Amino acid sequence: MAIKLLPFLLLLLLINSPAAGHNITRILEGFPDFSTFNSLLTQSTVANEINRRQTITVLVVDNSAAGALSSLDSDILKRVLAIHVILDYYDKDKIHSLRRKSTFFTTLYQTTGVAENNMGFLNFTRLPDGRLAFGSGVHGAPLSATYVKQVAARPYNISVLQISAAVVPAGIADVPLAPFGPPINVLPEPTVPAPAPSDAESPDADAAAPDADAPAADSPAPAAGSPGPAPAGDSDAPAPSEDDTEDDDMSLAGRVADVGAGFIMMAAAALLL
């Protein structure tokens, strides 16, 4: 019975064996530009830690950028290299599709139990000019590297991405370390000037036009107790004025005087006869 189960147990062991998944040393052997970094991974035994992980992303630097790491103490070197191992899978498509402006990645160094002040995290930031930048997770630490390209990917177990420089937190060693590269120059986001208000948005356009039937502003309002204008009469003729009345009285008096003079002349004529 045990003999029959042996092939099944061997198959199960191979499936669950991390060594069967990937080998970072063999992956980087095909890329001479990263031979120095590959050698440092093996020397520090960080390569063994990488190969034990099922889902991982390794940030590598080329030989020109990895040369400065060779001068580090073996213990400090192991810490620095562990910071370049993200405990998740990010290939070029996934890392470019991150929506947030800044993201903190958990690294292999965080699992050691000696990481302090967020040194076990990487700060990933999308810059205004579109570049993808990396820096230490320590508060106030500058961004020190940018994404270059994808080196290798085996979804969804291991991804190898190249960055421009090593990320070395300032407080990772007991003594201050020399800078491993200039801080990334973060350009300010361009300011867009506010559009000038159009004629339709000007205050004068929104003001209501005066009503044509409304009284002029300079016209005095009628007093509260004053009577309104007299209503028009039924006759269309204008009412007589005082001058017209005096003229009528004078005309009547003249007619009476003329009649009286006529009677006097008739009486005088009768006496002469």
Q: Tell me the two tokens of residue 207.
A: 């003001």
- 254 residue type, one letter: G
CB atoms within 10 A of CB 22: 20
pLDDT number for residue 273: 53
33/50 Cα distance (integer angstroms): 20
Q: Tell me the two tokens of residue 57.
A: 């992303």
Q: What is the DSSP string of 164-214?
A: SS----TTSSSSPPPPSSPPP--PPPPPPPPPPPPGGGSHHHHSPPPPTTS
pLDDT band per the 50, 70, 90 thresholds, residue 98 = very high
pLDDT number for residue 21: 78
272/106 Cα distance (integer angstroms): 157
pLDDT number for residue 184: 75
Peptide bond into 156 cis (omega under 30): yes
3-13: pLDDT as tens digits: 555 555 554 44
- Give pTM, 2 decimals: 0.63
Q: What is the DSSP string of 19-83?
A: GGT--HHHHHHT-GGGHHHHHHHHHTTHHHHHHH-SSEEEEE--HHHHGGGGGS-HHHHHHHHHH
Q: How far is CA 44 from CA 47, 72, 81, 235, 253, in A?
A: 8, 11, 8, 123, 146
205-246: pLDDT as tens digits: 454 444 544 444 444 444 444 444 444 444 444 444 444 544
pLDDT number for residue 174: 72
Angle at 83 between CA 81 and CA 89, to 5 degrees: 105
Q: Which of 162-166, 198-202, 245-249 has the lowest mean pLDDT?
A: 245-249
- For range 122-146, the mean pLDDT: 95
CA-based torsion, 241, 243, 245, 248: positive or negative: negative
> How many Cα atoms are found within 13 Å in the side-chain-facing hemisphere of 244?
4
Q: How is the chain split into domains, by residue range?
A: 17-163
Q: Which listed CATH number (3.90.550.10, 2.30.180.10, 2.160.10.10, 3.60.21.10) goes with 17-163?
A: 2.30.180.10
Could you tell me which of 192, 191, 170 has the C-alpha nearest to residue 179? Answer: 170
64/181 Cα distance (integer angstroms): 11
Helix (H, G, I), strand (E, B) or coil at 6: helix
Length of the chain: 273
Across the strands, what pairs with 154? 158
Q: How far is CA 252 from CA 66, 239, 247, 265, in A?
A: 136, 20, 9, 20
Residue located via tokens 């991974």: 41
Q: How far is CA 258 from CA 22, 212, 252, 267, in A?
A: 149, 61, 10, 15
